[in-house]
Amino acid sequence: MIGRRVARGAVGVAAVLIAAEAAGRTGVVDPKLLPLMSTVLADAAGLLVDPKFLSDVGITLADWAIGLLVAIVIGVPLGMLLGTVAKAESAARPLVEFLRPIPSLALLPLVTLLIPDNDGVKVTVIAYAASWPILINTMYGLRDVDPVAKETLRSFGFGRLEVLRRVSLPSAAPFVLTGVRLAAAVAIIVVISTELLAGGSGGIGTFMITAGAGFRTDLVLAATLWAGALGIVTNALILRLQRWAFRWHAMRAGGEA
**pLDDT for position 224:** 92
HSE (side-chain half, CA atoms, 13 Å) at 162: 9
Q: How confident is the model at residue 185 (pLDDT cuts 50, 70, 90)?
A: very high
The arithmetic mean of pLDDT across residues 178-184, rounded, is 93
The arithmetic mean of pLDDT across residues 136-165, rounded, is 73
Is the pLDDT at 33 greater than 90? The verdict is: no
Mean pLDDT of the chain: 84
Q: How confident is the model at residue 23 (pLDDT cuts 50, 70, 90)?
A: confident
**pLDDT for position 172:** 81
Q: Minimum mean pLDDT among 125-134, 149-158, 183-192, 238-247: which range?
A: 149-158
CATH of 49-252, one of 3.40.50.720, 1.25.40.10, 3.40.1180.10, 1.10.3720.10: 1.10.3720.10
- Alpha carbons 199 and 38: distance in angstroms, whole number: 29
The per-residue DSSP string of 187-238 comes to HHHHHHHHHHHH--S-SHHHHHHHHHHTT-HHHHHHHHHHHHHHHHHHHHHH
**pLDDT for position 194:** 92
**pLDDT for position 123:** 93
> Is the separation of the CB atoms in 125 and 159 below 8 Å?
no
Is the pLDDT at 71 greater than 90? The verdict is: yes
Is the pLDDT at 146 greater than 80? The verdict is: no
Q: Tell me the whole-structure pTM to 2 decimals.
A: 0.84
Share of the chain above pLDDT 70, in %: 85
**pLDDT for position 252:** 53
**pLDDT for position 160:** 67
Domain map (residue ranges) of the chain: 1-34, 49-252
Q: Minimum mean pLDDT among 130-139, 143-152, 168-177, 187-196: which range?
A: 143-152
Query: Which ranges constitute the DSSP H helices of the chain?
Result: 2-25, 37-47, 51-84, 86-99, 108-114, 118-143, 147-155, 160-163, 169-198, 204-213, 217-245, 247-252
Q: Minimum mean pLDDT among 42-46, 79-83, 221-225: which range?
A: 79-83
Is the pLDDT at 246 greater than 80? The verdict is: no
Is the pLDDT at 8 greater than 80? The verdict is: no
